[in-house]
Amino acid sequence: MKYMLLIHSGAVDEQGGAPQCTVADWMAYDKDVRDAGILVSGESLADLVTATTVRVSPAGERTVTDGPFAETRELLGGFLVIDVPDLDTALDWAARCPGARDGGSVVVRPVADFGDFAG
């Protein structure tokens, strides 16, 4: 079953990185996921200042603003989609993720399978 791991950083340093994780930590985790043969896809997101938010009013009017302007210090830093047998295995991989450390979190969500609906 496929699960998406949404990796949230608890805080960022001056360079936009998560101070609790080193590049070596991320490279080791990436290697472990690849070596286990469970990686479906994954990406790290660009700096938060490059984000754009789109909202559509009930009247259908589009508003575009720079950034997400979240009221929290936590930010989405990237994601992985893994293919593992069950939720417990996905939770184990999420717990190993460097992004889950020191105030960060990894949200684990099953990927919906609409194959049965594909007329």
Count the alpha carbons within 13 Å of 84 in the hemisphere toward its beta carbon: 22
**With pLDDT > 70 as the criterion, what percentage of the chain qualifies?**
82
- Residue 61 above 70 pLDDT? yes
pLDDT digits (tens, 9 = 90+) for 9-26: 876 655 555 566 788 999
CA-to-CA distance for 94 and 74, rounded, in angstroms?
17
Asked if residues 8 and 105 have their Cβ atoms less than 8 Å apart, the reply is yes
pLDDT band for position 34 (cuts 50, 70, 90): very high
